[in-house]
Amino acid sequence: MIKIHDKVFKPFISHDRILEAISGVAERVNADFRDCEDVPIVLCVLNGSIPFTGELLTRLEFNCELVSIKMSSYQGTKSTGTVLNMMGLTADVRGRRVIICEDIVDTGNTIVALKELLLDKGATDVKICTMLFKPEVYKKDVRLDYVGMAIPNAFIVGFGLDYDELGRNLRDIYVIDE
């Protein structure tokens, strides 16, 4: 058990299981991009996706460029339903293929807004890659191309995921203990 702010969390997904899921995602991404002639962009959605993107990058077997963007739709433990672009893209995506790396997809508001933004800015193709996915709350028509693992709709922290900016540094993922 760990305590962050006013909430208690219990172990949920071990670091080894996280790395196993990332290796599975990397295999699928490599199968699609291994022989590509272009240099796709791997887009890290800050801050939560830093650990996931870092681990994924070390497993990719093709040339790629790392770019980042910061978006937010959370306050505390709840999604606000409004997606804010906190920091713009750190590179031009015009004429490029982009692989979005997201830590978690739940409602899908951020991922849908981000895909639209990238296509509006001229990306030729946008693939969505997420470490974690909450299928019971995802009601969007946008397809997720690479998913590490599906999880129930519970609030989690660790391995990049936070509760009011704390808990991102935890190796394992913890779930709120209601």
Q: Within a domain: residue 66?
A: yes
Q: How many CA atoms lie within 13 A of 35 on its CB side?
A: 1
Q: Within a domain: residue 164?
A: no
Share of the chain above pLDDT 70, in %: 91
Domains: count for the chain: 1
- Whether a cis peptide bond, with omega within 30° of 0, leads into 47 is yes
Catalytic residue annotation? 106
Q: Within a domain: residue 130?
A: yes
Q: Within a domain: residue 78?
A: yes
Q: To the nearest whole number, what is the mean pLDDT of the chain?
A: 92
pLDDT in tens, 42-54: 999 999 999 999 9
Q: Within a domain: residue 27?
A: yes
Quote the CA–CA distance of 84 and 20 in Å, as a whole number: 32
Domain span at 41: 15-150
- Write b or e for each residue in 131-142: b if 16 or more Cβ atoms lie within 10 A of its Cβ, otherwise e: bbbbeeebeeee
DSSP labels for 101-121?
Answer: EEEEESS-HHHHHHHHHHHHT
Backbone angles phi, psi at 28, to 5 degrees: -70, -40
Structure tokens at 49: 């996706």
pLDDT in tens, 95-145: 999 999 999 999 998 899 899 999 999 999 999 999 999 999 999 999 999
Q: Within a domain: residue 113?
A: yes
CATH of the domain at 125: 3.40.50.2020
